[in-house]
Structure 1
Amino acid sequence: MNEHIQKLIVDGTLYGLVFFSVITWILIIAKGVQHFRLGRQNRVFTKQFWGASNLDAAANLSDTTGAKARLAASGFSALYVVDGESPDLEHSWDRQELLERHLRQQIQKEYESLESGLAVLASIGSTSPFVGLFGTVFGIIHALTALSKAASPSIDIVAGPLGEALIATGVGIAVAVPAVLAYNFYLRRLKLASADLDSYATDFVNLAQKSGFRVSKPVAKVSATQSQGGSAVHVNNQVIGVAA
C-alpha cells in the first residue's frame, strides 16, 4: 500500500469522525427540543384533563397536541357510543379489552417516536473510538514507511504523521463521549416518559370503568343565522343549508 493511499485513509477517517460529530449534535438538539415540547404539552393537557367534570367533558377538550392528548384520543375512540348505532366488528369486542388494546398500541407508537435516533447515538458512541484507532494505525504505518525510505532517519520525519495519527484517536474519543452521554440521558428520559404514559393509561382505564366504558361522541355545535328572506344553518362554522 503506497503512502498516498495511507494518507487518504487517515484523512478519510478524520472527515468521517467530523461527520459523526455533526450527526451527534443534530440528534442531541433535536431530541432535546422533542422532550421539551413533550413535557410542556403533557403538562398543559394533564391540567385540562383532570380539570374536566367528567369523561364526556374531557373528550371535548380542544387540546390534541402531545403524547398524553394522543393517548387520550385513542382511548376515547374505543369508548365512543352513538345511540342507535350498530357496532362494527372492532367495537364488538369487550369494551375494556378494546380500550386497553387501543391504549397499548398508542403507547407503543409514542415509545417508538421517542426512541428514534437513540440507536444512532449508541452506534456512534460505541464505534467512534475504534474508527479513530483505525486512522491511528494507518497513520503510524504511514510514519514508519516514510522513516524507512528516508536517507537519514530522524524524529522530524515521523513527527508529522504520528501527530496526525494521534489526532485521529483523540477525535474519535471526543465524538464518542457526547454521543454516549446523550444516549444515556435520553434513554432515561424515555423510560420516565413511558412510565408516565403507562400510569396515565391506568388512570384512564379506571375512570372509564366508572362510566361503564362508554363515552358519548361530541355533538357538533349547530347554530342558525337569519339572512334576507331565509336562514343559513351552520355546523362547526360551515354553512350546510339555506332555507328560504
Structure 2
Amino acid sequence: MSEFLTTLIVDGTLWALGVFSVLTWSLILIKGWQHWRIAQQDRRYGKAFWAAACLEQAAALDDATGPQARLAASGFAALRGSDGTVHDLEHSWDRQELLERHLRQQIHKERRSLESGLAVLASIGSTAPFVGLFGTVFGIIHALSAISHAASASIDVVAGPIGEALIATGVGIAVAVPAVLAYNFFLRRLKLAGADFDDFATDFVNLAQQNGFRIRPAANAPTVVRGVAFKEVAA
C-alpha cells in the first residue's frame, strides 16, 4: 500500500472523528436546551392549568406552549369534537375512547420529538472507537513501513511512528465517551418526560370524566371573581 494512500486514510479518519465530535457536542447543546425549555414550559403551564377554576377556563388559557399544553389542546379538541353525532369513522368512537386516542397520539408525537438525535448519539458512541482503531491500523502499517526503510528497530525509531498511529484510537475513545454519556442521560430524561406525559393524560381523562367528557360553551362556563366561582345569569 502506497504511503500517500495510507496517509490519506489516517487523515480522513481523524477528520471523520472531528466531525463526529462536532455533531456530538452540537446535539448535547441542542438536546440540553430542548429539555430545559420544555421543563420550563411544562412547569409554567402546569401551574396555570391547575390554578384554573374549571376545565373550561383551562381550555381558554392564553400563551400555552410546551408538550403538556399541546397535550391538553389535543384533549380539548377531542372533547369539542365529540358532540355525540357520528359523521365519519374518526368520530365513531365514544367520548372517552376518542379522548384517550387523541392524547395517546399526541404523547407519541412528543416522544418522537424528544427522541430526535438520540440515534445519532448512539451511533457515534458505538462506532467512534472502531473508526479510531481503523485509522490506527493503517497508521501502524505506515509506521512499520517507515521502520523497515530505516533498517533499524531501536526504540527511538519505533516509538515515534507507533505512538502517532495510536493517536487515532485515543481520539476515537475521546469522541465516544461524551456521546455515550449524553445518550444515557437524554434517554433517562426521555423516560421521565414520558412518565410525566402519561400522568398528565391520566389526570386530564379523570377531569374530563367529571365533566361528562364535554366542554361547555364559554357563555355557560363558571366565572371566577376573587376566587369565587359562579355562573352568569342572563337578565
TM-score, structure 2 as length reference? 0.87
Letter in 2 for 1:16: A
- SS of 2:164's partner is helix
Which has the larger share of strand? 1
1:58-84: per-residue Cα shift (whole Å, max 9, x none)? 10001321000000000000001698x
1:9-49: per-residue Cα shift (whole Å, max 9, x none)? 11111111011000000000000000000000000000000
The list of structure 1 runs, each at least 4 consecutive aligned residues, that deviate by more than 6 angstroms after superposition, is none
Q: Distance in 1 between matches of 2:5 and 2:113?
A: 42
Aligned positions of 1:80-91 closer than 5 A: 80=80, 88-89=87-88, 90-91=90-91
Q: Distance in 1 between matches of 2:183 and 2:77?
A: 35
Aligned positions of 1:35-54 closer than 5 A: 35-54=35-54
Shift of 1:86: 5.3
Aligned positions of 1:95-244 closer than 5 A: 95-216=95-216
Change (3 A) 1:157 1:200: same
1:174-207: per-residue Cα shift (whole Å, max 9, x none)? 0001000000000000000000000000000000
Q: Distance in 2 between matches of 1:71 and 1:150?
A: 70
Aligned length: 218
Q: Distance in 1 between matches of 2:174 and 2:145?
A: 28
Which has the larger share of helix? 2
Shift of 1:116: 0.3
In the other structure, the counterpart of 1:4 is 4
1:111-153: per-residue Cα shift (whole Å, max 9, x none)? 0000000010011001111111111111111011111222455
Change (3 A) 1:31 1:151: same
Letter in 1 for 2:184: N
In the other structure, the counterpart of 1:26 is 26
- More displaced, 160-169 or 190-199? 160-169
Change (3 A) 1:67 1:9: same
Shift of 1:93: 1.7
Q: Distance in 1 between matches of 2:71 and 2:189?
A: 18
- SS of 2:24's partner is helix
Shift of 1:88: 3.4
In the other structure, the counterpart of 1:58 is 58
Shift of 1:164: 2.0
Letter in 2 for 1:163: G
In the other structure, the counterpart of 1:242 is none
Q: Distance in 2 between matches of 1:120 and 1:137?
A: 25
What's the Cα RMSD here? 1.8
Structure 2 portions without partners, runs of 5+: 220-235
Shift of 1:159: 3.6
- SS of 2:63's partner is coil
Q: Distance in 2 between matches of 1:11 and 1:161?
A: 15
Letter in 1 for 2:122: A
Q: Distance in 2 between matches of 1:155 and 1:4?
A: 25
Change (3 A) 1:104 1:15: same
Letter in 1 for 2:127: T
Q: Distance in 1 between matches of 2:82 and 2:127?
A: 56
Q: Distance in 2 between matches of 1:161 and 1:100?
A: 64
* Identity percentage of aligned residues: 71
Change (3 A) 1:217 1:91: farther
